[in-house]
Chains A and B, each alone.
Chain A
Amino acid sequence: METILFNNIWIIPLITVLACLPISATREKLLRGIHTASATLVLAIVCYLTYRVYALTGEPANELAAPLALRFFTDIPWLSMFNAHYIVGADGLNMLLLALTAFIVWAGVLVSYKIKGNQKVFFALIQLLATSVYGVYMSFDLVLFFVFYEMEALCMYLMIACYGSGKRDYGGKKLTLTLAFGSSMILATLFGLYFEGGVNSWSIMELSKVSLPMEFQMWAFPLMFMGFAVSSSLFPFHFWSPDGHSAAPTAVSMLAAGVMMKMGAYGCLRVAMFLMPEAAKIWLPYVVALLIFNVVLGPFIALRHKDLKYITAYSSISHLGLIFLGLAALTPVGLRGASLQMISHGFLTGLFFATIGMIYERTHTRDITQMGGIMRKMPFLGVGFVLAGFAGLGLPGFSGFIAESTIFIGAFQQDSTLTRVVTILAILSITTTAVYILQTANRMLHGPLPQKYESLTDGCFREKLVIIVLVACLLFIGICPGWIADMLDTSIAPIFEKISAATQPVIGGIGG
């Protein structure tokens, strides 16, 4: 029964799209109602299943899914032409990411009520995007995984270019093509995994049982890791994210920054590092060097920007750098911190983009130099923005604190000077984060109120609900992180086991 519910997570959005096909585009109220109901239904299912995964922790999982402890495991032959199977399942990590996605999709639908243009198409695209993200987090077959992973390209361009603002065509193209570039790198290595693995299977579990030839791993790991890292905007592939996010409509920014950028980090952990641990040990120190840009320079760039979405985008770049710092640490604590940061940052950036979108809807500008004093007119949205900022700079009590400190502890445990230096720099750069967040909040929310903003109104019930729910999630994770850490540990354990079991062969010339 629960397995059927689980499989419905990605099917319900699709059914919603089909159900809305015959409805005329002019009946916007009905369309919005259907989509809100569907998103709420998925959210409820996901919350229930997350609880079930938590409750089942420690109990023996399906043996077919070994070495991973997967619940709701389904394995159906799919495309026999190339042995692809439909394999889905959930352990702690991806169940929590599914929960995050469900919250963000729900919030995304709620904030898009007033979007201009053809709402029928817009909501259909949001649901398709949701399907793609759900699918990525559920699938354990590489073909299925890739199909869902690449599906986003179809929705993203149309949503940004048709419903966005500013340089929307440019931003949309930049985002879509860069992401497609990343996924083409992944696709090229997927074939190698299949043919070099020698088990004639695309299943992550099957492939994790064999050890791939070292020559193959040495070229495939960096290709695949960077392919995934493109969508997590790791330097030097970060350039799409500020332009893309600033051009996108609110809901798309929320989904892109909140959940899609985590797909890359998730793929790095679940596919690249899990299947090619030997090469991961050799290559990851070089990734740490790249992180200096993300973590240290990212906040400084955010400091110089005046556009709210650019600021948030660069803040996301720096926060996602921290995820990679946790991954590159290769310690259980580091991996747990990275996973926690994926979830925490999803809620945080979702809240950020939601409040920015609501404020933009009213002020019609995102330039912070032209705003001021809007706290007086919109106290609720202002407080929401400030809370998102506090969570972003890692204030204790919010989820950001617990995630970032775990990453720092984990990274410092690693016995490498480079990692430690980068960790110290990252800790120091929190100050910069604090500076730009407080400066932005100050300029925007306080000071004299421009004449033209006299008639602005505060958020309506729908918008307040979104802010309250997202803030509650942030606080919930921040105040009692224990149960989430328990859930994450069960899914990180097999990955770490595989990595620590990997002996590091000596290869002349590269790393070591």
Chain B
Amino acid sequence: MYSFFNMNFIIPDILLLLFPFIVIGSRLFCNYRSQLPWRIANFGFIAIFILLNFIPLASGEGRFFICNWKIDDFGVLMREVLIVSAILGIWLSKDYFEHGADGKPQMHQIAEFIGAIAFATFGGVTVVSACDLLTFFLGLEIATIPMYALTAWNKKDQLGSEAATKYILMGSVATAFELFGFSYLYGFAGSLHFGEIQQAIATGTSPLLWVAVLFLFCGIGFKLTLFPFYTWAPDVYEGAPTPVTAVLSVTSKATAIAFLVVLVFGPLAPVQEQIAPLIALLAGTTLFVGNLGALKQSRLRRFMAYSSIAQAGYIMVALLGPASTAKTAIVYYLFVYAVSNYLAFFIFGIIGHHREETFASLRGLSKQNPSLAVALAISMFSLAGIPPLAGFFGKFHLFFSGASTGHYALVAFAVLNNVLALYYYIQLIKSAWVDEPDGHLSPLRLTRRQRGVIIALSISVVALGFLPFLSNNVFAGFSF
């Protein structure tokens, strides 16, 4: 344990909390074309990302603020995932605001937008750093509430307002569930602190604990879009602006999965074996339902919603493994998932500026914009888990973690489901590659920045998987 006075480790977190205020404040000095807030945000996130890399990974745990804030290896890597997601999110939102809701640039509004994304990111960081239920709960709320606001960003859009209403109502119910769960857990253990809860559970269980676990899983089921609680996702994904959908599908999902990881391998670790059937059931049904739902979609965002529901199911499979394997697998997969998903959303965003966001608008993409079609194929095949793209190695790792405790049947089910998934991803690739171009659709024009981002993301999707130096240096060789 690091000393109470060694505050170096917390600098990135404090910066992450402070700099959104600077971004929001900078709006006072800019007009509708100004790049200032975007530049500050970019600089801030990248600086924090670089700072994070100085935290030695094999350090074990550092604790601050009377043991309520801890930084361990999983936490550091999750911070990196969240910040990568935030950086990509603000790049995507720059496209959105430059283009504007009605064709006029609205760059001054980006300040609040970025502020909300940064707070959501900070919420995720709080979740992975929390040592007691109160901080934990606060983190989850900080991560969720900005997303409600972001969903309703475009106030003239009816679909967006509907989506936000739905999201807030569902989210509040989920929060209520979680609070119930927490209070039962507190009632069971007599303490808010994770270590003490863990000790209480290790000494014996009671029905009260199972009620608490059930409530907690229900609550997080909403946020992670697990099987019976996923219904809000397609509507919200479709109604929200494109960058919000992308952030929602990566940052929110990462936060929710981090919540589960912290819970399952922290306080609930002594009963991991007993709750494994519950996890397996949720994982199996979620990935099946997600895949089934995606089969018949014709709108891109709804399609991505179901696809990300299925991905949540795949991630759940890894929770069955031993702590270190599962954590490595999940962090690695989240990196891969973030990159592949953002690549898809960048492309959909570009399409959305000029056309309707449906499969039909992709027609003839391979003839009009061959490089965009290649990037789309890379992203879709990666999400489908086809080697040598990163998605395959991510999924392989998840299944590896699930199989290491002998859950072969679930892994086999998940792997077979992948064939189903391949079908609908191919369906999308077909629209872009095989269907003849529509006469009305003129070729898309990409700015240099868009082109650069798409090339960079494509390369990372290809290389993140099989290049060993990444996995050896960043992820392996240390204990969680």
- Check A449 for interface membership: any CB of B closer than 8 A: no
With both beta carbons as reference points, the residue of chain A lying nearest to B403 in the complex is identified as A191
Complex Cα–Cα for A147 and B467 (A)? 13
Contact status of A81 and B471, CB under 8 A, knowing A176-B426, A191-B400: yes
Q: Do residues A176 and B477 form an inter-chain contact, with CB atoms below 8 A?
A: no
**Quick one: which of B332, B366, B419, B426 contacts A81, CB cutoff 8 A?**
B332
Decide if B430 touches A169 in the complex (CB within 8 Å).
yes
Cα distance A191–B392 in the bound complex, in angstroms: 15
Which secondary structure characterizes the binding site on chain B? helix
Residues of A within 8 A of B91 (CB): none
- Most interface-central of A82, A118, A151 (chain B CB within 10 A): A82
The answer to whether B476 has its CB under 8 Å from any CB of chain A is yes
CB contacts (< 8 Å) of A25 on chain B: these are 370
B475 cross-chain contacts in A, Cβ below 8 A: 81
In this assembly, does A181 line the interface, its C-beta being within 8 Å of a C-beta of chain B? yes
Among B277-333, those with CB < 8 Å from A are 328, 332
Q: Which of B29-37, B66-74, B127-135, B407-415 contacts A (4 or more CB under 8 A)?
A: B407-415
Residues from chain B with a CB closer than 8 A to the CB of A176 are: 422, 426
Minimum CB distance partner of B409 in chain A: A188
State whether the Cβ of A383 lies closer than 8 Å to any Cβ in chain B: no
The answer to the question of A7 belonging to the interface, with a C-beta cut-off of 8 Å to chain B, is no
Cβ–Cβ < 8 Å partners of A295 in chain B: none
List which B342-383 residues lie within 8 A (CB) of chain A. Answer: 366-367, 370, 374, 377, 381
- The answer to whether B190 has its CB under 8 Å from any CB of chain A is no
**At the interface with chain B, which of A62-70, A156-164, A342-350, A399-407?**
A156-164
A177 contacts across to B, CB distance below 8 A? 419, 422-423, 426
Tell whether B406 is near chain A: CB-to-CB under 8 Å.
yes
Instruction: Report yes or no: B386 in contact with A150, Cβ–Cβ below 8 A.
Output: yes
**How far is the CB of A239 from the nearest CB of chain B, in Å?**
15
* B399, B429, B468 interface centre (most CB from chain A within 10 Å): B468
Q: Indicate if the CB atoms of B387 and A188 lie closer than 8 Å.
A: no
Q: CA of A193 to CA of B468 in the docked complex: distance in angstroms? A: 23
Q: Which residue of B lies closest to A181 (CB)?
A: B419
A191 neighbours in B (Cβ, 8 Å): 399-400, 403, 408, 411
Establish whether residues A173 and B433, one from each chain, have CB atoms under 8 Å apart when the complex forms.
no
Choice from A77, A81, A162, A185 contacting B433 with Cβ under 8 Å: A162
Enumerate A357-400 residues with CB–CB distance to B below 8 Å: none
Q: With A and B bound together, what is the CA distance between A176 and B427 in angstroms? A: 12
Q: How far is the CA of A329 from the CA of B325 in the complex (A)?
A: 42
Q: Are A188 and B404 in contact (CB under 8 A)?
A: no
* CB atoms of B422 and A80 under 8 A apart: no
Contact between chains at B472 and A80 (CB < 8 Å): yes
* Contact for B366 among A148, A151, A162, A173, CB less than 8 A: A162
Question: What CA separation (Å) do A175 and B479 show in the bound complex?
Answer: 43
Give the shortest distance, in Å, between B191 (CB) and chain A (any CB). Answer: 36
Q: Is A237 an interface residue (CB 8 A)?
A: no
Q: Tell me whether A71 is interfacial, beta carbon within 8 Å.
A: no
In B428-454, which residues have CB < 8 Å from any A CB? 429-430, 433-434
A51 within 8 A of B: no
Beta-carbon contact of B426 and A173 below 8 Å: yes
Question: Which residue of the partner chain A has the closest CB to B386?
Answer: A154
The residues of A that contact B387 with a CB separation of less than 8 Å are 146-148, 150-151, 154
Residues of the B chain whose Cβ atoms lie less than 8 Å from the Cβ of A12: none
Task: State how many angstroms separate the Cβ of A249 from the closest Cβ of chain B.
Answer: 14
Asked whether any CB of chain A lies closer than 8 Å to the CB of B393, the reply is yes
Question: Closest Cβ of chain B: how far from A100's Cβ, in Å?
Answer: 23
- A143 adjacent to chain B (CB < 8 Å): yes
Q: A147-B387, A169-B434 are in contact. Are A188 and B411 (CB under 8 A)?
A: yes
Q: Which of B399, B429, B476 contacts A187 (CB 8 A)?
A: B399
Most chain B CB atoms below 10 A, which of A80, A161, A188, A194: A188
Interface centre among B406, B434, B471 (most CB of A within 10 A): B434
Select one of A79, A81, A158, A195 contacting B406, CB under 8 A.
Answer: A195
Q: Is the CB of B477 within 8 A of A80?
A: yes
Residue A192 is within 8 A (CB to CB) of chain B in the complex:
yes
Nearest neighbor of B381 in chain A, beta-carbon distance? A154
Complex Cα spacing A195 to B400, Å: 9
* Measured CA separation A180–B367 after assembly (Å): 27
A153 interfacial contact with B, CB 8 Å: yes
Query: Are the C-beta atoms of A195 and B471 separated by less than 8 Å?
Result: no
Asked, given contacts A81-B471, A118-B370, whether A162 binds B434 with beta carbons under 8 Å apart, the answer is yes
> A79 CA to B396 CA in the complex, in Å?
12
- Closest A residue by C-beta to B415: A184
Q: Is A78 an interface residue (CB 8 A)?
A: yes
Knowing A79-B468, A118-B366, A188-B408, say if A151 contacts B386 (CB, 8 Å). yes
Report how far A16 CA is from B411 CA in the complex, Å: 37
How distant is the Cα of A184 from the Cα of B328 in the complex, in angstroms? 23
A46 to chain B, nearest CB (A): 22
Q: Are B418 and A184 in contact (CB under 8 A)?
A: yes
Q: Enumerate chain A residues within 8 angstroms of B386, measured Cβ to Cβ.
A: 150-151, 153-154
A121 within 8 A of B: yes
Point out the residues of chain A lying under 8 angstroms from B377, CB to CB. Answer: 158
CA distance A277 to B124 in the complex (A): 51
Asked if B397 and A153 sit within 8 Å, CB to CB, the answer is no
Question: Chain A 186-222 against B: per-residue CB contact (8 Å), 1 yes, 0 no?
Answer: 0110011011000000000000000000000000000
Is B15 in the interface zone, CB < 8 Å from A? no
A281 at the interface (CB under 8 A from B): no
Chain A, Cβ-Cβ closest to B400: A82
CB distance from A59 to the nearest CB of B (A): 32
In angstroms, Cα B332 to Cα A191, docked, is 19
Query: For the complex, is A168 an interface residue (Cβ under 8 Å from B)?
Result: yes
Provide a sorted-by-A list of 23 A–B residue pairs whose CB atoms are within 8 angstroms. A25-B370, A79-B466, A80-B477, A81-B332, A81-B471, A118-B366, A118-B367, A121-B370, A143-B396, A147-B466, A150-B386, A150-B392, A151-B386, A151-B387, A153-B422, A154-B387, A173-B430, A184-B419, A187-B415, A188-B411, A188-B415, A192-B403, A195-B404
Chain A residues with CB under 8 Å of chain B are: 25, 77-82, 118, 121, 143, 146-148, 150-151, 153-154, 157-158, 161-162, 168-169, 173, 176-177, 180-181, 184-185, 187-188, 191-192, 194-195, 223
Question: Which residues of B pack against A, CB within 8 Å?
Answer: 328, 332, 366-367, 370, 374, 377, 381, 386-389, 392-393, 396-397, 399-400, 403-404, 406, 408, 411-412, 415-416, 418-419, 422-423, 426, 429-430, 433-434, 466, 468, 471-472, 475-477
* Additional 20 contacts, C-beta under 8 A, given A161-B434, A180-B422: A77-B468, A80-B468, A80-B472, A80-B477, A81-B397, A81-B471, A81-B475, A118-B366, A150-B392, A151-B386, A153-B422, A154-B389, A161-B433, A176-B426, A177-B422, A177-B426, A184-B415, A187-B399, A192-B403, A195-B403
3 closest A-B pairs (Cβ-Cβ)? Answer: A191-B403, A188-B412, A147-B387
